[in-house]
Structure 1
Amino acid sequence: MRGWRILVAEDDYFAADELVQALERAGAEIIGPAADLRQANQLARSGAIDAAILDVNLMGQLSFPVADTLAEHGVPFLFATGYDPAIVPYAYRDVPCFTKPVATHAIVAAMAATRSLQAAH
């Protein structure tokens, strides 16, 4: 994942910190972490990211507008949520969704797989 810029949108400080550390160990450059919808959307629109991890609920607001922005720009992403994964809209049914608490190694592996798939295309 060396050199890959990954947006982390997570409002829980400890969860964000754990993700950031794991992704950095894998060689990624972290964009954020963004703790609220406004900041996450701003970073998603910057065009300076290669992938993203989105907490479904950012400070009481659903992150699906950020997912929309990422999808429009062809940026792969995955969801992490403490809610039932059924909360994710049907349009994103094929996007990986991890239920919290999630092991960071599982998210890092999913990001690495996403990178491998993109490299193949």
Structure 2
Amino acid sequence: MANQTAIRILIVEDEYLVALHLEDLLTEMGHRVLSSASRINEALHLARTCEIDFAVLDVNLSGTQSFTVAQVLRERGIPFVFATGYGSDGLIDGYHHETALRKPYEAGELAGAIARAFPSITL
């Protein structure tokens, strides 16, 4: 199902198959995955430099939490959603109000999170 406005998305996920599935879901929704990172340093670099509209952040990247990446995105005014097996219970102070998708999540949940981040455009 294609949308009228493609969102440029960064995926931060350390499990290859999960990242691949997420990329497929986003592409089917009509969005453009600009880049994907599986390590925190790579994710930080992309969050600082990549021209993106939205990001999906796995909370735990091989034992390192992605909250520093979320902070960079906040500073740039780029919306994001966390993806974690713990849902919102896996978020630290300062991030409890952010959207957290509990893995495994459905395509509709992901689409809803993106739509909430961009209420003024038609997805």
In the superposition, the TM-score normalised over structure 2's length comes to 0.86
Aligned to 1:36: 39
Give 1:52's match in structure 2, choosing from 51, 55, 63. 55
Unaligned runs of 5+ in 2: none
Unaligned runs of 5+ in 1: none
**Cα distance in 2 for residues equivalent to 1:46 and 1:3:** 19
Question: How many percent of aligned residue pairs carry the same amino acid?
Answer: 36
Aligned to 1:83: 86
- Report 1:1-121 matches (<5 A): 2-83=5-86, 85-117=88-120, 119=121
Cα distance, 1:39 vs. partner?
Answer: 1.1
More helix by share: 1
Change (3 A) 1:78 1:105: same
Deviates more, 1:50-59 or 1:32-41: 32-41
- RMSD of aligned alpha carbons: 1.6
Question: How many residues end up aligned between the 2 structures?
Answer: 118
In the superposition, the TM-score normalised over structure 1's length comes to 0.87
Cα distance, 1:108 vs. partner?
Answer: 2.2
Runs of 4+ in 1 over 3 A off after TM superposition: none
